[in-house]
Amino acid sequence: MLGERDQLLLRKLIELYLKEGRPVGSRTLSKLPEISVSAATIRNVMADLEERGLIASPHTSAGRVPTARGLRFYVDRFLTVTPLEQEQVQRLSEALAEAGEADAAIDRASRLLSELSGMVSIVRLPDRAEERVSRVALVPLSERRVLVVLVFNNQEAENRFIELARPLSAEQLEKLSRFFNEELEGLTLREARARLVSRMQQLHADLNEGMRRFIEAAEGALAQHEQEGETLRVTGKTRLLQYEELADVARLRELFATFEQQRDLLHVLDRSLEADGVQVFIGRESGVELDDDCALVARSWSMDDTLVGALGVIGPARMPYDRVIPLVDMTGRILESVLKKPAPAPLNE
């Protein structure tokens, strides 16, 4: 436990460090109007805080900087966030509303988050296997070529072309269209694939070869949709060059390798899916191979009241948490609101 004086000095040291990005000395703290003790007393307190692992002294300066542990203490105990300006909220709302389909809205959210924060944005995309089939439409293009329109989550439409071994009549295509919509509507992609396999086995004797091959091809189209989806979207990696503590070539190489590998980032974003609100991970506590000079701020986002993804930013540990936290939170809220709006049907019946 820290006394009130120790907490005040720690808070002021961290606030100055976050603002200026430089080590803070006892003389600088002694000049603050809130501080009513001598520089000698401040030095004693700073030595105690250093023993506790809350601050450290860089080799190049007599001043102190907060450690990851100290920043964690600050964020948990002292931080007061600053609400976004209405202009920023309006810009985010209009930009995401104009994006159109879900994927475009998510991509725009990622780009705006990077631009407004000045850091790297990351988005954990929904597991495609959990997307729900809203509608299937079959459009004959020629005797042996059919366009299959798959609509997921009432938002995203995807087209697949199927080449037939032999022609199917208009009546057979209509029958297949009814079959797909009756059997698959509302199911997740994983459930839809399993249902098609099961129903083909049950109806084996009642299906002619052409219709059976068409259903097999449709199942293959669903499988391809599931496999092709990206899992993590990273935007604005070069923005890290502007931060002195991260601009070292070896350090940037490690960070970029983390972005490319993705596995560790997915793990920490999945942790955000399991928690409420905005989560702040400082230094190595994120579980990501980042050093103590980095931090990650993230929140989950939902579609149709189901948590499906997460978004956030990665930047220096001295990031302005009071601005970044509400930015990440509001971006997630607006994205959720936009994705709740049903997209117009892409194809007339």
Instruction: Please tell me the distance from the alpha carbon of residue 308 to that of residue 298, in angstroms, as a whole number.
Output: 14
Burial (CB count <10 Å: 0-12, 13-18, 19+), residue 101:
middle
Cα–Cα separations (whole angstroms), residue 249 to 68, 149, 224, 256, 282: 22, 47, 39, 10, 21
- For the chain, 349 residues long, give each residue's pLDDT as a single digit of tens: 788 999 999 999 999 999 988 899 998 999 999 898 888 899 999 999 999 999 998 876 678 999 999 999 999 999 999 899 999 899 999 999 888 777 888 899 999 999 999 999 998 887 666 677 888 888 888 888 888 888 877 767 778 888 877 788 888 888 888 888 888 888 877 788 888 888 777 776 666 777 777 777 777 777 776 666 667 888 988 888 888 777 777 777 777 777 776 667 777 777 777 777 899 999 877 656 556 688 999 998 877 666 678 899 998 889 999 999 999 999 999 998 888 755 444 444 4
Buried b (16+ CB within 10 A) or exposed e, 295-315: bbbbbbbbbeeeebbbbbbbb
Report in angstroms the alpha-carbon separations of 203 from 54, 58, 174, 207, 342: 68, 73, 17, 6, 34
Instruction: Let me know: does 299 contact 279? Beta carbons within 8 Å.
Output: yes
Output the six-digit token pair for 41.
């007393």
For residues 300 and 310, give the distance between their C-alpha atoms in angstroms, rounded to a whole number. Answer: 4
Question: Which position has the token pair 């103590």?
Answer: 292
Query: Alpha-carbon distance 3 to 26, whole Å?
Result: 18
Q: What is the largest CA-CA distance in the chain?
A: 92
Distance, in Å, from the CA atom of 75 to the CA atom of 302, rounded to the nearest integer, reads: 26
Domains of the chain, first to last: 4-77 (1.10.10.10), 86-125+231-340 (3.30.450.40), 129-228 (3.30.390.60)
